[in-house]
Structure 1
Amino acid sequence: MSYLCPLCHSSLAAEEKSFVCPQGHRFDKAKEGYVNLLPVQHKHSKDPGDSAEMMQARRAFLDAGHYQPLRDAICQILTRFAPEKLLDIGCGEGYYTAGFAGALTGLTENIWGLDVSKVAIRYAAKRYPQVHFCVASSHRLPFDDGSLDAVVRIFAPCKAEELARVVKPGGVVITGTPGPRHLMQLKGLLYQDVLLHSEEVESLPGFTQEQTLQIGWPMTLKGEEAVALLQMTPFAWRARPEIWEALKAETAFACETDFVVRVWRREG
């Protein structure tokens, strides 16, 4: 299985250092091994997605194991389905994707990681050569109709119709979203009135929800870990300088996690 051309939607043929479609559109592989399939006309900004600073914070935080129970839970689900072809949407710097690859060794033919952030994909491809990484839009997935057995989507947007298009009948989509109390203590530093995350379940036409798993655990973070957590969340944009300084000075910042993992089965 190869990628689709983001310009004409023809299949891309892999050459030594490029991917080329019959119409002559060419996409070169970066030295790290990934390919950029996000044409300038599909970008909403010059450098979409997370910045290098956010990626470094995310890698440091995830490498410390603070979200490992979430990765382990999804790995357990994936080993049950043993998909031959798996896509991780919004893969960032590859922490979860690499975990899936490790859990599915010998069971899965190919694993892809996709993100709109070029810097994130560069980080991922350099560290995890066992995964195929690409820069692409989650709203225009560069894959054939019905070509994937499973898609994982953790905190990442994607059009429901695109998921229905690329996942084969009987395949699965696994989503990871914030539960009601996710990072309540961190939110409490930023907002006077802290609201619970919405428990409304998204609609995925063409899929049937098969399983729901809610998991959470307490974290005790050192100052630099708490700063990294804030840096990798949307809350970073609202944090005043004194919030950053207060977190940096923490020696044991207590914060709870709350995740909802759902399994959706493609109908038909």
Structure 2
Amino acid sequence: MKKIDRAITLINTNVRRLRCPHCGGAFTPVVGRSLLCVNAHAFDIAKTGYVNLFTGRQQDFYDAVLFDARQACIAGGLFDGLLRKIAEIIRDAGSADGFILDAGTGEGTLLARLMPMCGGTACCAGIDISRDGIHIASRDYPDILFCIADIAHLPFADGTADCILNILSPGHYGEFTRVLAPGGAVIKVAAADNHLQEFRQLIYSGSDAEYYSNAAVKDLFASRMNLMSVSHVEHTVLLAPDMLSHVVLMTPLLQQVPAEKKALLSAETRPVTLSFDILVGKRPV
């Protein structure tokens, strides 16, 4: 089956969960290669299988180079400890057989690697504002529904998601609350204070940027969601230069660092700390 035909099947399976980003109306099943809402707003399906449901001015903050590097790091197992913990939380929440939305999916690799760990029959969708990211996602993971969309204006109907993932990405808790099904959970992953501390020490030594705190991220989550639990996952790995170069390329923190400094980070084998806080919340009471 062609990717676009598989995507049409996925869209039609989930059409009741989608809503038009222009008018908020329901969608009808795909006709030809277009997704139409009840008010005749039309959205074409790309050859790789994604649908663009973003109505604003397209502005990619990250490019294919970053997403390719991120894909290599995830495929290399660097995030497996984090993903195993998320899978455990999903199973414990009873969402492994539900509808899981990854809000801020990037190139989709985390979601694609996570799903087999959950051991269920979940139907999954991933959204991101980046065209490059969603192009890679739909090209490489055709069994997942991917859309270009804005986290602040989710193209999903009220109460449709059993679980919303928000991994290392900004969130919009008003939209998450609207889309979350009764009893569903938001799983927010934030970089913890020690995340990539070796890089910060090398590049920002002696400045405020050498140190990081995610307190503001956690406080915002707790103020907008009914916080159920907080977990911490951390490990330090010894990485060779080729993998270090991927980590450097995928890290937004390092995008504005001069090239000569970035080259130093991957010049020799060095330890790197990967540290995350996982916040689980439900609809506010």
194, 213, 219: which one aligns with 1:202: 219
Structure 2 match to 1:142: 155
Describe the SS at the equivalent of 2:220: coil
Which ranges of structure 2 fall in alignment gaps of 5 or more residues? 1-15
Distance across 2 between alignment mates of 1:208 and 1:19: 35
Query: Does residue 95 in structure 1 map to residue 113 in structure 2?
Result: no
Q: C-alpha displacement at 1:245, in angstroms?
A: 2.4
Distance across 1 between alignment mates of 2:148 and 2:175: 17
Query: Does residue 257 in structure 1 map to residue 269 in structure 2?
Result: no
Structure 2 match to 1:232: 250
Which ranges of structure 1 fall in alignment gaps of 5 or more residues? none
141, 144, 152: which one aligns with 2:165: 152
Q: Is the 8 A contact 1:2 1:14 kept in 2?
A: no
Structure 2 match to 1:130: 143
Q: C-alpha displacement at 1:36, in angstroms?
A: 0.6
Cα deviation digits, residues 146-166 of structure 1 (max 9, x gap): 111110101111221111111
Q: C-alpha displacement at 1:38, in angstroms?
A: 0.9
Structure 1 match to 2:12: none
Q: Is the 8 A contact 1:75 1:99 kept in 2?
A: no
Distance across 2 between alignment mates of 1:102 and 1:14: 28
Q: How many residues align?
A: 262
Describe the SS at the equivalent of 1:88: strand
Q: Is the 8 A contact 2:196 2:275 kept in 1?
A: yes
| RMSD (CA atoms) | 1.7
Distance across 2 between alignment mates of 1:262 and 1:187: 24
Query: Taking structure 1 as the reference length, what is the TM-score of the superposition?
Result: 0.91
Structure 2 match to 1:244: 262
Q: C-alpha displacement at 1:248, in angstroms?
A: 3.5
Structure 1 match to 2:184: 171
Q: Is the 8 A contact 2:191 2:276 kept in 1?
A: yes
Inter-CA distance 73–105: structure 2 relative to 1 (3 Å threshold): closer
Inter-CA distance 47–196: structure 2 relative to 1 (3 Å threshold): closer
130, 134, 138: which one aligns with 1:117: 130
What one-letter code is carried by the residue in structure 2 that aligns with 1:29? I
Distance across 2 between alignment mates of 1:2 and 1:28: 18
Describe the SS at the equivalent of 1:53: helix
Q: C-alpha displacement at 1:31, in angstroms?
A: 1.2
Q: Is the 8 A contact 1:179 1:199 kept in 2?
A: no
Greater helix content: 2
What one-letter code is carried by the residue in structure 2 that aligns with 1:47? Q
Distance across 1 between alignment mates of 2:110 and 2:40: 34
Structure 2 match to 1:27: 43
Structure 1 match to 2:93: 81
What one-letter code is carried by the residue in structure 2 that aligns with 1:113? G
Describe the SS at the equivalent of 1:203: helix
Q: Is the 8 A contact 1:82 1:107 kept in 2?
A: no
Q: C-alpha displacement at 1:207, in angstroms?
A: 2.8
Q: C-alpha displacement at 1:142, in angstroms?
A: 0.5
Q: Displaced runs of 4+ in structure 1, greater than 6 A?
A: none
Structure 2 match to 1:187: 200
What one-letter code is carried by the residue in structure 2 that aligns with 1:76? E
